[in-house]
Structure 1
Amino acid sequence: MPSSIDRKAADLLLSVIETPDAAIRGSVLDGYYGRVAPALKEAGILQPKDHLRAAVSLADHEDEPINLTWSPEHRAYGYFSPTAGWVSVPGDQLATFRVNFSRLLDQLVERLDLSPRSAPVELVPDLLWEVGDARLPGRSKRTPVWIGRRLGDPAIWKRFIDTARKRPAPGLRIVLSFTPGNCLPTDVHLGHTLIAVRDVADHYGLAVVPDLLAARVAAGSQLNDDPITMAADGASLTVRGTRYAFSGSKQRAIIRQLYDAWKSGHPELLTAEVLESAGFSTSVNTLGKAFSGRSDWREFLNEEHGRCWMFL
């Protein structure tokens, strides 16, 4: 990460990323962010896209765009200012600068141990990318990582959910979001943990720190005050402050199904279907057998007459 990119430059970049076109006018970039703009341009993260014929005033300190005209005498675009006369506008300020996501994503995940180490795959054009499977400190298995932007927009959130349903998470999937944490949806899709980039990035805000990311995954990314919360991979459930851990993949599958049903408002499921979906053989026909060796599950799960559900 170039040392010239500081926190203010990163903050500007993150705000530009969340705009619909991930772009900013050159006149605004240089006029209001002149100190940090050069670092982002030099790093190749903001690149010229096209040119406009309008700019904010360089002489009168107005916020409204001014239409520019060509001056044969000055051989430049500009405008006439009542206070300063003719003002030429530099070429860079005529451009629209857009985020180069290829360069940005490379820098964002450069510290992660990713496999395969290949170019990100665009899942939703310009909005959602798959960057590979990360090996995080303290976790034995690699975890798939997606990166998304503008996930606070309901229409884009729906596109994310549709994509996640078509490509189900294999136990756990991390979704790094450029959207700030307080703007993210609270009803996260099953099997996904949604984490704001700002919460796990380094001091400059543009590179994910593996230890921070691992800690956030372990703690969960619950964004509301539900009395029952579940880690995205089903490895633990917290019921009114009491945490229950589950090490077996089949038990986790049971917990995920019943938690999802509880969240939906229709908690009761057929026990046989839950156990079959979790991968148990037909000889395991009750939750008691599925959770053999432990009894704490009865503190938040119940089963009667062939049905089971999660309760408070």
Structure 2
Amino acid sequence: MAKRGESPRAELTFLLTALESRYLTVPTATAKQLAAEASWLKRQGILRPEGHLPVVADECDRPVELEWSEGGFGYFSELSGWIDVPESDIQSLAIDVTRLLSILTQDLHLSGRHEPHALVPELLWDLGAARFGKRLKRNPVLFARRLSDASSAAVIMECLQRRPTTERRVILTSTSGALLTEIPGGSHFISVEDVLDDRGRAVDPALVAIRIDEAPTESKGDLIVRAGAKEVVFFGETFRFPKGVKQRAVILYLYKKYAEGVLQVPSEQIAEECSLGERTRVRDLFKKHPAWEKLLFEQDGICGFAFDKAPKSEKTRD
């Protein structure tokens, strides 16, 4: 149980804020001010002593460089002369990102479990892949920090563009969700503080699944795919697939191919990529749904969106 005045999320909230600074360190003086939070982080091996800060603020709150003199650190003040600075006040605590990410993702059941692999040193890490909700396939999971910093975000986005993937990435980040609105699409960018479990100590996969389902509408002209294909608007006519997991998988796959400029795809390829099963045909999934031959068509073993039969009226079909 949290002590009075403390939040169950206080430790990681404190750390997530620290991760947005330029360096992966926390001044001991700051840790002293937040003793309870820092204590838990130290016990977990997330914070550990490493080096000293070269600069402190003087009595006028101006930055001054420390000097070593007679066995201790200090600086010369025009007001007070030489001032000794206790070593404990300038010791720096390093953030062990590998240890932190191991704790944060303990409930995600990442496949091919391995230590986080840095794709961009100190900015972007590959964590593996996880299945969220009832999705048929796993999503690649990454962790990024400092996405609110333009130069850091540019380096991260460049790295992602050089590493294409068939499945949409889930990118967890220490950056506040309010600052992610300008991040380009193509991945699910999710602030860790928005998906922490009730303990405030790890990412809740159920909350991540909800965030993915709430992803912004994907639109290309007269074809709009919403909420992970639970709703599709095609030339003004709305089709819904609230329970059809495999139906949605097919639509999302066809939409991805359509976005790449591929209008028709072999049905056999769709069945394999969407894990429909050896005896399940695309036609079998949709033949009793109003979307068949209105939204989707199949002819001679080829499937795609039915642009040549596009409906003109505005209706809702379930």
Same fold (TM over 0.5): yes
Measure the CA separation in 1 of the matches of 2:38 and 2:135. 39
Q: How does 1:1-312 map to 2 (within 5 A)?
A: 6-30=8-32, 32-56=33-57, 63-72=61-70, 75-79=71-75, 88-184=84-180, 185-189=182-186, 192-203=187-198, 205-217=200-212, 219-222=213-216, 228=224, 230-231=226-227, 234-237=228-231, 239=233, 244-245=240-241, 247-248=246-247, 249-258=249-258, 260=259, 273-276=262-265, 279=269, 294-296=289-291, 303-304=307-308
1:165 to partner: Cα distance: 3.6
Measure the CA separation in 2 of the matches of 1:223 and 1:156. 27
Measure the CA separation in 1 of the matches of 2:120 and 2:239. 36
1:274 to partner: Cα distance: 1.5
CA contact (8 A) 1:251 1:291 kept: no
CA contact (8 A) 2:176 2:191 kept: yes
Structure-2 change in CA distance of 1:138 and 1:44 (3 Å): same
Structure-2 change in CA distance of 1:215 and 1:224 (3 Å): same
1:8 to partner: Cα distance: 3.0
Measure the CA separation in 1 of the matches of 2:69 and 2:152. 44
Structure-2 change in CA distance of 1:236 and 1:87 (3 Å): same
Q: Which amino acid aligns with 1:173?
A: R
Structure-2 change in CA distance of 1:111 and 1:84 (3 Å): farther
> What is the DSSP-based 3-state SS (H/G/I as helix, E as strand, rest coil) of the residue aligned with 1:113?
coil
What do the CA deviations read for 1:234-277 (whole angstroms, capped 9, x no partner)?
Answer: 5434659x67336344432222345x48xxxxxxx6xxx32148
Q: What percentage of aligned pairs have identical amino acids? A: 29
1:176 to partner: Cα distance: 1.2
Structure-2 change in CA distance of 1:133 and 1:277 (3 Å): same
Measure the CA separation in 2 of the matches of 1:56 and 1:195. 35
CA contact (8 A) 2:217 2:225 kept: no
Q: Which amino acid aligns with 1:200?
A: V
CA contact (8 A) 2:13 2:193 kept: no
> What is the DSSP-based 3-state SS (H/G/I as helix, E as strand, rest coil) of the residue aligned with 1:20?
coil
> What is the DSSP-based 3-state SS (H/G/I as helix, E as strand, rest coil) of the residue aligned with 2:128?
strand
Q: Which amino acid aligns with 1:51?
A: H
CA contact (8 A) 1:137 1:211 kept: yes
Structure-2 change in CA distance of 1:50 and 1:228 (3 Å): farther
What do the CA deviations read for 1:116-152 (whole angstroms, capped 9, x no partner)?
Answer: 2221222222222121222445445433311111223
1:107 to partner: Cα distance: 0.8
Structure-2 change in CA distance of 1:89 and 1:203 (3 Å): farther
The count of aligned residue pairs is: 279
1:65 to partner: Cα distance: 3.3
Structure-2 change in CA distance of 1:111 and 1:155 (3 Å): same
Structure-2 change in CA distance of 1:229 and 1:148 (3 Å): farther
> What is the DSSP-based 3-state SS (H/G/I as helix, E as strand, rest coil) of the residue aligned with 1:151?
coil
Q: Which amino acid aligns with 2:45?
A: G
Measure the CA separation in 1 of the matches of 2:122 and 2:143. 11
1:80 to partner: Cα distance: 6.9
Measure the CA separation in 2 of the matches of 1:203 and 1:65. 40
CA contact (8 A) 1:111 1:207 kept: yes
Question: Under a length normalisation based on structure 1, what TM-score does the superposition of the two structures give?
Answer: 0.68
Larger displacement relative to structure 2 (296-305 or 116-125): 296-305
Q: Structure 2: 5+ residue runs without aligned partners?
A: 272-282, 297-304
